Structure 1
Amino acid sequence: MTDKEKLLGRVRMYDFALVEVIEYLDGHPDNAAALKYYNEMRTAFDKAAAEYEDAFGPLTAREVDTCSGHWTWIDDPWPWEGAED
């Protein structure tokens, strides 16, 4: 497994945890432990996503840098395409 695959796996893991805890919080909005867990997972997700984007480019089109005057999103394989490094 490449470093890119490992890092993307971490991003996906934290994203999944966030989806699950958000659904739980929808039914239990005052649960202090769930709120704490949400904050921990959000911090971990943000860190892993930033680390991935610094090394391999944006995870979604929302993070594309357009300062060059070119839509760079199409230049590289997308994260889910599993292209060789």
Structure 2
Amino acid sequence: MTDKAKLLGRVRMYDFALVEVIEYLDGHPDNAAALKYYNEMRTAFDKAAAEYEDAFGPLTAREVDTCSGHWTWIDDPWPWEGAED
């Protein structure tokens, strides 16, 4: 598995954990353990996403840098394309 695939896997793992804990918090908004877990997963997701974007480019079109006057999102394979194993 490539470094890119491993890192994208970590991003997806933390994203999944966030979705699950957000759904739990919708029904249990004062659960201290769930709030702590959310904060831990959010920090881990942000770190993994930043690491991925620094190495391989934006994860979504919302993070594309347009300062060059060019829509760079189309220049490289998208995160879900071309993951060599």
State if a TM-score over 0.5 links the two structures: yes
Specify every segment of 5 or more residues in structure 1 that has no aligned partner in the other structure, as ranges: none
Quote the offset at 1:82 in angstroms: 2.3
- TM-score of the aligned structures, taking structure 1 as reference length: 0.96
Q: Deviations over 1:15-72 (max 9, x none)?
A: 0000000000000000000000000000000000000000000000000000000000
Quote the offset at 1:83 in angstroms: 4.7
Q: How many residue pairs end up in the alignment?
A: 85
State percent identity of aligned pairs: 99
Quote the offset at 1:81 in angstroms: 1.1
Runs of 4+ in 1 over 3 A off after TM superposition: none
Kept after mapping to 1: 8 A contact 2:25/2:31:
yes
